[in-house]
Amino acid sequence: MRPTGLSIHPTTVTKGEQTRQRIVEAAAPIFNRLGYDGSSLADLMAATGLKKGGIYRHFASKEELAAAAFDYAWDSVWKVRMRDVSEATPGIENLKRRIANFVERRSPVPGGCPVLNTAVTAAEGNSVLRARVAKALRTWRESLEAEVESAAERGEVKTGVEPKTVATVIIGTLEGALMISRMERNTDALIGAKEHLNRYLDTEVSA
Amino acid sequence: MRPTGLSIHPTTVTKGEQTRQRIVEAAAPIFNRLGYDGSSLADLMAATGLKKGGIYRHFASKEELAAAAFDYAWDSVWKVRMRDVSEATPGIENLKRRIANFVERRSPVPGGCPVLNTAVTAAEGNSVLRARVAKALRTWRESLEAEVESAAERGEVKTGVEPKTVATVIIGTLEGALMISRMERNTDALIGAKEHLNRYLDTEVSA
Amino acid sequence: MRPTGLSIHPTTVTKGEQTRQRIVEAAAPIFNRLGYDGSSLADLMAATGLKKGGIYRHFASKEELAAAAFDYAWDSVWKVRMRDVSEATPGIENLKRRIANFVERRSPVPGGCPVLNTAVTAAEGNSVLRARVAKALRTWRESLEAEVESAAERGEVKTGVEPKTVATVIIGTLEGALMISRMERNTDALIGAKEHLNRYLDTEVSA
Amino acid sequence: MRPTGLSIHPTTVTKGEQTRQRIVEAAAPIFNRLGYDGSSLADLMAATGLKKGGIYRHFASKEELAAAAFDYAWDSVWKVRMRDVSEATPGIENLKRRIANFVERRSPVPGGCPVLNTAVTAAEGNSVLRARVAKALRTWRESLEAEVESAAERGEVKTGVEPKTVATVIIGTLEGALMISRMERNTDALIGAKEHLNRYLDTEVSA
DNA sequence: ACAGTCGGGACACCCCGTTTGT
DNA sequence: ACAAACGGGGTGTCCCGACTGT
């Protein structure tokens, strides 16, 4: 993961690192839309405006660039999905806010959810990318689990409800609906998923 | 669509058609595991035991073969998921049987659910495959809708429940859980999804 | 060369030979237009309506078919160029009639003069075709030489005029003009060549 | 058109341009001898010493390379045929010098005259090459026409003689004779053509 | 005898991801 | 940061022989 601007010496951000960042930002939509195999260096060259040499100066291989691009893409969607969430009332309402964000906000990286895309296209044969996706998925789930637990601590949650299950149901339902929506080219499935999860939280999770 | 054996002259199944079928069966796991872009003709040659000339005699292009392979893969998983279903009591129990089949039976085509895989890897840039997936998804959903409607006719279903929404929730939840299970390399998410959907059917759908 | 209908037993022309002839007639324009390398068996299949097996039954190789096709093409243009010639007055007038035929009659085999085409496209690397062309060219030249000699015997020709030179000048001028006409997509060069050769015969050859 | 070495900064001829030139020079004889269809990339690789990647860096396609190779080949034969021509006395003598050069000097590019070769092998189906040949032919003819006109201005030419016709007769006769010479593997036809054209110029063109 | 199906092995052109020199 | 070259792989097509059926 690249520095996120928290450095004490912001002037130490070299020109090279800026270029690297530019490459990553340009590459992310390519990989996200076309997949790892479907993205050629020519595509990347066109997107970045650099030649191969310019790209290979910053990344040792296509795979390394794809990994950085995934990290960037994931970071981007994460920020969008978490925006306004902390301001919501904690607990169940907070979870509903996250769900609404997922459903109502388009991916800032063209091509849809990078977790779904990369999980499928790089499930086999690309252990580097696979590990990144698995990590992102774990991060996401643990964040949801933590929210469930904090709700539980405030007595908002039925006894016997397992945070991990709730988190998994939410993620799975949202990602599955996303796949359907993309195939059907409308948002019916996503909206149905949101309403379903909200009722689920109200009737099965809430105390 | 290939002959389905209903011919009066079964001996008319030529050697060529047998070979074509062999190619399709061998190609399906390749495409399902590696994706369209990730599958090379060399992979296909190795899997089929034929040389390019032998393959291209039966398919005009890689894309045409991929389409036939998807049809075959979808047909295979469909059969597995529908096995024993008609024997289940109709209505809600029937839906539960389908869910259990999805969760408990491994895909007969290595690489997981071809709908999920193909929907993601061929979402962009391959309209032929895209159309096949969309059709398969529609078939699946309509089959579930019909079951919900038949349950409704027998009074098993709450008023106000929309069959299409139920169908979409089931498919989305299962496919999303499948993606998570694959990433986490365990079946927790799938089992969680099954239990979740069963409760959903009991509390939200059943009258 | 195939039988030309002079057989005593015309009924012995088998179906196979008819098919062979059909193939040759269909193949000749292909080879003449596209050249040997440029003509694929697929082109030949399309032109003949036969499959490869059907073609290879009659010809051991593409090269053998090309040779037969050239013979047929040459025979065709020869007939056209010699039509009405024997009826012309012998000698110089006869030569002029041949020249006019060359210039004014389109090749019965699409693609232009097979001698020029094959001489150039098969000059290297195809000794079989090369030999056929050389023979055709020799036949042509000797026929012209004979006409010059017969004119000389009647005292129509200047002393010191070599028949071979006259023949070569005629052929070369016509073929060269044909090449130019094809490039310029008009008949200027051919017509210029005819007038030039006529004057040449009048002033340089005629006694 | 490549730089001709007249630059003030000769060091600006990059390595890439040198390589490109090397490729063109090596490719020209291949295309000229074997024709466009008959020349494979393997042939070109062997001739240039480069691998496919090295060739395709400089040319987007085989056709583009063939076009450059034709231009180079034409340029080469043009230089040879025009050498010593400007030093000859202008007018009719100048034309005779050109004819002699054509007949007596072997093509600097193995395979014979690229105009004849390319005109025939690329007459159909390769509009790029076709256009180059047509242009070369036009250049050649116009150069001859200009010489005839300049002779006419000095009163060396009969009235009524059309420069275009003279040019076309010369080119056609030479190219046709070249074809015959190649088939007969001797220079008789070419020498006959030269003598014929010289007499033609003396008796039909000269005043 | 003849036509067609089938498969092979090689090769077509082109583009890939990568390394190197500058 | 690029220009240059590489070696190999991409898909697709070639011509042909052997087999199958009429």
pLDDT digits (tens, 9 = 90+) for C93-140: 999 999 999 999 999 999 899 999 999 888 777 788 899 999 999 999
D61 or A179: which leads in pLDDT: A179
> What's the CA angle centered on B127, arms A177 and A178, to 5 degrees?
10
Q: Chain C within 8 Å of D87 (Cβ-Cβ)?
A: no
Instruction: Please give the backbone phi and psi of residue B39, each rounded to the nearest 5 degrees, phi first.
Output: -95, 120
**What dihedral angle (degrees, nearest 10) is formed by the CA atoms of B79, B84, B89, B91?**
-20
* pLDDT greater than 50 at residue D7: no
Contacts of A183 in chain B (CB under 8 A): 119, 123, 130, 133-134, 137
pLDDT for position B9? 42
DSSP classification of residue A157: B
Helices (H), chain B: 15-38, 41-48, 52-56, 62-82, 92-104, 114-121, 127-153, 163-184, 188-200
Amino acid at A204: E
Nearest CA in chain A to B182: A123
DSSP states of C93-119 as a string? HHHHHHHHHHHHS--SSTTS-HHHHHH
* pLDDT greater than 80 at residue C14: no
Q: Hey, is D206 helix, strand or coil? A: strand
The answer for residues whose C-beta is within 8 angstroms of residue C43's C-beta and 6 or more apart is C30, C34
Question: Chain-wide mean pLDDT for chain B?
Answer: 90
Asked if C130's CB is within 8 angstroms of D179's CB, the reply is no
The span from the CA of A119 to the CA of A115, in Å, is 6
CA of C16 to C1' of E1 (A): 8
The span from the CA of B84 to the CA of A207, in Å, is 38
- Using pLDDT thresholds of 50, 70 and 90, give the confidence band for residue A13: low
Token code pair at residue C115: 């001698």
pLDDT for position C15? 63
Question: Chain-wide mean pLDDT for chain A?
Answer: 90
Token code pair at residue D61: 């396609």
Question: CA nearest D173: which of C151, C160, C165?
Answer: C165
Q: Hey, is A206 helix, strand or coil? A: strand
* pLDDT greater than 60 at residue B10: no
Question: CA nearest A111: which of A74, A144, A83?
Answer: A74
pLDDT for position D10? 45
Instruction: Please give the backbone phi and psi of residue A157, each rounded to the nearest 5 degrees, phi first.
Output: -115, 140
For residue B157, the cross-strand partners are B206
* pLDDT greater than 60 at residue D139: yes
Q: Chain D within 8 Å of C146 (Cβ-Cβ)?
A: no
Instruction: Give the mean pLDDT of B195-201.
Output: 96
pLDDT for position D53? 87
D136 or B89: which leads in pLDDT: D136
- Using pLDDT thresholds of 50, 70 and 90, give the confidence band for residue A140: very high
- The region, left, alpha or beta by phi > 0 then psi within -120 to 50, assigned to residue D49 is left
- Using pLDDT thresholds of 50, 70 and 90, give the confidence band for residue C4: very low
Residues in A 3-42 whose C-beta is less than 7 A from nucleic strand E are 39-42
Neighbours of C112 (CB within 10 A): 21
Instruction: Give the mean pLDDT of B53-70.
Output: 93
CA distances from C9 to C6, C13, C14, C15 (A): 9, 8, 11, 14
pLDDT for position C87? 78
Instruction: Give the mean pLDDT of C172-196.
Output: 95
pLDDT for position C52? 80
pLDDT for position A159? 92
The neighbours of chain C, by the rule of 3 or more Cβ pairs under 8 Å, are D
- Using pLDDT thresholds of 50, 70 and 90, give the confidence band for residue C7: very low
CA distances from A197 to A82, B149, C83, C107 (A): 18, 22, 91, 80
Amino acid at D66: A
Asked if B176's CB is within 8 angstroms of A174's CB, the reply is yes
Instruction: Please give the backbone phi and psi of residue C60, each rounded to the nearest 5 degrees, phi first.
Output: -70, -25
Interface test with chain D among C30, C120, C126, by most D beta carbons within 10 Å: C120
pTM: predicted TM-score of the whole model, two decimal places: 0.88
Residues 54-83 of chain D with CB under 8 A from chain C are none
pLDDT for position C3? 39
Q: Chain D within 8 Å of C119 (Cβ-Cβ)?
A: yes
Nearest-Cα distance to chain C for D13, in Å, is 36
Q: Chain C within 8 Å of D191 (Cβ-Cβ)?
A: no
DSSP states of B25-47 as a string? HHHHHHHHHHHHHH--HHHHHHH
Question: CA nearest B124: which of A131, A45, A43?
Answer: A43
* pLDDT greater than 80 at residue D52: yes
Low-confidence winner among A37-41, B54-58, D10-14, D169-173 (lowest mean pLDDT): D10-14
Instruction: Give the mean pLDDT of A49-68.
Output: 92
Q: Chain B within 8 Å of A43 (Cβ-Cβ)?
A: no
pLDDT for position A12? 62
* pLDDT greater than 70 at residue D166: yes
pLDDT for position D12? 64
The span from the CA of A47 to the CA of C32, in Å, is 48
Tokens 């090369």 found at: C130
Nearest CA in chain B to A162: B192
The span from the CA of A202 to the CA of A200, in Å, is 5
Could you report the per-residue pLDDT of A90-121, keeping only the tens digit for each? 889 999 999 999 999 999 999 999 999 999 99
Any strand F atom closer than 7 Å to C63 CB: yes
DSSP classification of residue B157: B
* pLDDT greater than 60 at residue C39: yes
The span from the CA of C15 to the CA of C12, in Å, is 9
Interface test with chain C among D124, D144, D205, by most C beta carbons within 10 Å: D124
* pLDDT greater than 90 at residue C90: no
Q: Which residue minimizes Cα–C1' distance to F15?
A: C41
Q: Chain D within 8 Å of C192 (Cβ-Cβ)?
A: yes
Instruction: Please give the backbone phi and psi of residue C52, each rounded to the nearest 5 degrees, phi first.
Output: -55, -45
Handedness of CA D37, D40, D41, D45 (dihedral sign): negative
Could you report the per-residue pLDDT of C60-70, keeping only the tens digit for each? 888 888 999 99
The neighbours of chain D, by the rule of 3 or more Cβ pairs under 8 Å, are C
Burial per residue of D57-72, b for 16 or more beta-carbon CB atoms within 10 angstroms, e otherwise: ebbeebeebbbbbbbb
Strand E bases contacted by the protein (CB, 7 Å)? 1-21
* pLDDT greater than 80 at residue C38: yes
CB C162 within 8 A of CB D170: no
CB C180 within 8 A of CB D116: no
* pLDDT greater than 90 at residue B100: yes
CB C132 within 8 A of CB C71: yes
Start-to-end Cα distance in chain C: 40
Nearest-Cα distance to chain C for D193, in Å, is 6
Could you report the per-residue pLDDT of B149-182, keeping only the tens digit for each? 999 999 999 999 999 999 999 999 999 999 999 9
pLDDT for position A18? 84
DSSP classification of residue D132: H
Percent of chain D with pLDDT over 90: 67
Any strand F atom closer than 7 Å to D15 CB: yes
Token code pair at residue B19: 């070979």
CB D80 within 8 A of CB D98: no
The span from the CA of C57 to the CA of C192, in Å, is 47
CB D91 within 8 A of CB D154: yes
Question: CA nearest B179: which of A114, A166, A64?
Answer: A114
Token code pair at residue A114: 């990078």
Nearest-Cα distance to chain A for B57, in Å, is 26
Nearest-Cα distance to chain A for B182, in Å, is 8
CB A91 within 8 A of CB A153: no
The span from the CA of A118 to the CA of A120, in Å, is 5
CB D206 within 8 A of CB D158: yes
* pLDDT greater than 80 at residue D180: yes
